[in-house]
């Protein structure tokens, strides 16, 4: 694994490029997840009717600016997440490997996976306030609002307002589901990637190379999105709330499913997929600690 400052910066720039390209889908995803919250299917008004409809409506009413709300926050979040992954992965992996095998140079898939997930979870915790503000900036719309409309001028203003009204606790609202979400994603991505790869080689006779990488990472992207999306929906809703609509993430999950049906946790799935696939596919495969989110 590359650890030099140069490669950190290069990796950061590449990640920010991917974030820029897919940010619009993320905006649509958040609005899809929030619309019709705690309303039965009959009473819920569907302002946004899917990924492409959502992108179209936002472009028409708010222009490209509407799709790119919260982009600055997305960069800071991405940097925090990647920084934690690069910073914690190796030390963690070495320590645990040394504890179990008495030799830090052993490569164990299980330990590597654990270290990747754990450093991702730490990154998600550290970056949660940025994700919170990003979510609120993205759900803000002067035309078709869904969710609480928070009038933040920008990320710094958002941070200042939340801190002065609710303190540190307010900034860390929703950190639980945020950690679960990244933990789920990080632990599923590589096993499914390798599983898909083996199957494609066995059953379709594909050979090592770009097409195999693209096919395997696409397959793994679908699965990653399936496990990540329910905690992601809970997270978006916890981030939206300002009062005490939900007492906990479990309360949110329970009431969402009870009022809107089981598929409510998959609202915005395709927008999420559109957000994730370009990341998973474009990643030059870096061992054990990669999943965007
Ligand atoms: C967002 O949070 C507010 C305040 O907690 C709540 O009233 C609202 O129902 C939530 N959801 C939406 C879609 O507005």
7-56 tens-digit pLDDT: 677 777 777 888 999 999 999 999 999 999 999 888 888 889 999 999 99
In terms of Cα–Cα distance, which of 240, 193, 174 is closest to 31?
240
CATH of the domain at 109: 1.50.40.10
**Of 109-113, 232-236, 285-289, where does the model show the most confidence?**
232-236
Instruction: Name the residue with the closest Cα to ligand 1, atom 2.
Output: 241
Q: What is the largest CA-CA distance in the chain?
A: 61
Residue 208 belongs to some domain of the structure? no
In terms of Cα–Cα distance, which of 125, 157, 123 is closest to 140?
157
DSSP H helices in 68-108? 71-101
Other C-beta atoms lying within 10 Å of the C-beta of residue 259: 16
Q: How many domains does the chain have?
A: 1
In terms of Cα–Cα distance, which of 31, 35, 124 is closest to 70?
31
Task: Output the pLDDT for position 287.
Answer: 40
**Number of helices and strands in the chain (H, E):** 9, 0
User: What tens digit of pLDDT does each residue of 101-122 get?
Assistant: 999 998 899 999 999 999 999 9
Ligand 1 center–CA 77 separation, angstroms:
24
Instruction: Name the residue with the closest Cα to ligand 1, atom 13.
Output: 147
Residue 214 belongs to some domain of the structure? no
Instruction: Name the residue with the closest Cα to ligand 1, atom 5.
Output: 241
Task: Output the pLDDT for position 171.
Answer: 96
Q: How far apart are CA 118 and CA 138, in angstroms?
A: 28
Residue 196 belongs to some domain of the structure? no
Q: Is the CB of 259 under 6 A from ligand 1?
A: no
Residue 209 belongs to some domain of the structure? no
Residue 276 belongs to some domain of the structure? yes
Q: Is the pLDDT of residue 285 over 80?
A: no
Task: Output the pLDDT for position 279.
Answer: 80
Instruction: Name the residue with the closest Cα to ligand 1, atom 6.
Output: 241
Ligand 1 center–CA 241 separation, angstroms:
5
Residue 193 belongs to some domain of the structure? no
- Angle among Cα 68, 72, 78 to the nearest 5 degrees reads 105
Ligand 1 center–CA 147 separation, angstroms:
5
Q: Which of 30, 136, 147 to mutate to test the pocket of ligand 1 (most atoms within 8 A of CB)?
A: 147
Q: Is the CB of 240 under 6 A from ligand 1?
A: yes
Residues of the chain with pLDDT > 90: what percent?
69
Q: Is the CB of 282 under 6 A from ligand 1?
A: no
Q: Is the CB of 289 under 6 A from ligand 1?
A: no
**Helix, strand, or coil (residue 102):** coil
152 — phi, psi (to 5°)? -95, 135
Residue 59 belongs to some domain of the structure? yes
- Tell me the residue range of the domain where 104 lies: 4-187+223-289
Q: Is the pLDDT of residue 70 over 50?
A: yes
Task: Output the pLDDT for position 263.
Answer: 95
In terms of Cα–Cα distance, which of 231, 211, 229 is closest to 219?
211
User: What tens digit of pLDDT does each residue of 195-227 get?
Assistant: 999 999 999 999 988 899 999 999 999 999 999
Q: Is the CB of 108 under 6 A from ligand 1?
A: no
Ligand 1 center–CA 149 separation, angstroms:
9
Q: How far apart are CA 290 and CA 82, in angstroms?
A: 9
Residue 271 belongs to some domain of the structure? yes
Q: Is the pLDDT of residue 169 over 70?
A: yes
């Amino acid at each position: 694994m590359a650890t030099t400052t140069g490669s950190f910066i290069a990796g950061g720039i590449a990640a920010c490029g991917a974030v820029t390209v897919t940010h619009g889908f993320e905006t649509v995803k958040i609005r899809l997840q929030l619309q019709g919250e705690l309303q039965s299917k009959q009473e819920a008004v569907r302002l946004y009717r899917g990924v492409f409809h959502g992108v179209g409506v936002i472009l028409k009413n708010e222009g490209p600016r509407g799709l790119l709300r919260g982009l600055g926050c997305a960069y800071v979040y991405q940097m925090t997440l990647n920084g934690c992954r690069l910073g914690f992965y190796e030390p963690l992996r070495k320590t645990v490997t040394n504890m179990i095998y008495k030799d830090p140079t052993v490569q164990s898939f299980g330990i590597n996976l654990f270290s990747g997930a754990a450093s991702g979870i730490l990154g998600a915790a550290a970056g949660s306030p940025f994700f919170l503000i990003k979510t609120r900036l993205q759900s803000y719309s002067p035309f078709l609002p869904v969710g609480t409309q928070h009038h933040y001028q920008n990320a710094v203003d958002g941070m200042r307002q939340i801190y002065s009204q609710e303190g540190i606790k307010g900034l860390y609202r929703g950190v639980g589901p945020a950690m679960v979400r990244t933990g789920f994603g990080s632990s599923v991505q590589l096993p499914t990637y390798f599983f898909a790869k083996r199957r494609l080689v066995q059953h379709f006779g594909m050979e090592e190379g770009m097409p195999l990488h693209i096919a395997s990472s696409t397959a793994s992207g679908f699965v990653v999105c399936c496990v990540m999306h329910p905690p992601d929906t809970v997270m978006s809703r916890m981030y939206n709330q300002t009062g005490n609509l939900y007492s906990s993430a479990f309360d949110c999950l329970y009431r969402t499913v009870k009022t809107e049906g089981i598929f409510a946790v998959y609202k915005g799935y395709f927008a999420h997929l559109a957000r994730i696939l370009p990341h998973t596919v474009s990643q030059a495969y870096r061992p054990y600690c990669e999943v965007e989110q």
